[in-house]
A and B are shown apart, each in its own frame.
Chain A
């Protein structure tokens, strides 16, 4: 199965979710800022990355994990991917997971300032604070996803 975590920029919540899924981050311990900064794609994507599905790794059950930045497509992105999967006959081989519901205000503001405005020095500390605040909720999302993929 292929699991695609998607968020606005494919740079923050989806990356953390993918990292948790791949056990690069420990769900029982709040990650240090450096743990987050060292994740691939975390707060590093460019405009050209929007709409690109990036492979992150394969989990212990053989599921391929991807991330995607879908801008303001919202939940429609999941519906679109699952609809296309249906046309291709692979709807049972994919799961699209929207991470936006787990993003808090600090993450959104920090991400916007860092990525959109390019003011990393201001945006990144806010983003890291927000990501640590949302960490438990993202862990919960990943746990639900892992349970679904194991069924």
Chain B
């Protein structure tokens, strides 16, 4: 089974959510999460593989931009086209207050 956490970027709160889901987050110091804030990686626009739970669930993040809330519906519709279901793949949007600002600010040059 695959789980995808979708945020405006795949390297901020979606990544934190993925680590919480996997039971990996033991501290609030997110800087030490692998790939956290790595905008170069996010700008590739690919699914980011985060890891696997003890139950064998493979966890990913994806940065879908400012309209990321739409992505889970698109993914679910796409999955259903091929006859797969929630047992195969689930996508969840991860939102925080100020989503849009975070997205814009994270892509400003340093």
A residues within 8 Å of B by Cβ?
A: 2, 4, 50-53, 66, 68, 70-77, 79-81, 83-88, 90, 93
Cα A71 to Cα B65 in complex, Å, equals: 10
Known: A73-B71, A85-B78. 12 other contacts (CB 8 A): A4-B78, A50-B70, A51-B70, A52-B77, A53-B78, A70-B67, A70-B74, A73-B68, A80-B71, A84-B79, A88-B84, A90-B82
Number of A-B contacts (CB under 8 A): 74
Contact-residue size bin, chain B (C-beta under 8 Å from the other chain): 20 to 34
List, in ascending order, chain B residues with CB within 8 A of A93's CB: 82
Q: Contacts A79-B45, A84-B4, A87-B2: A73 and B65 contacting too (C-beta < 8 A)?
A: yes
In the complex, per-residue mask of B48-86: 1 if CB is within 8 Å of any chain A CB, else 0:
000000000010101111111011011101110110100
List, in ascending order, chain A residues with CB within 8 A of B65's CB: 72-74, 76
Cα A79 to Cα B82 in complex, Å, equals: 17
B residues within 8 Å of A by Cβ?
A: 2, 4, 45-47, 58, 60, 62-68, 70-71, 73-75, 77-79, 81-82, 84, 88-89, 91
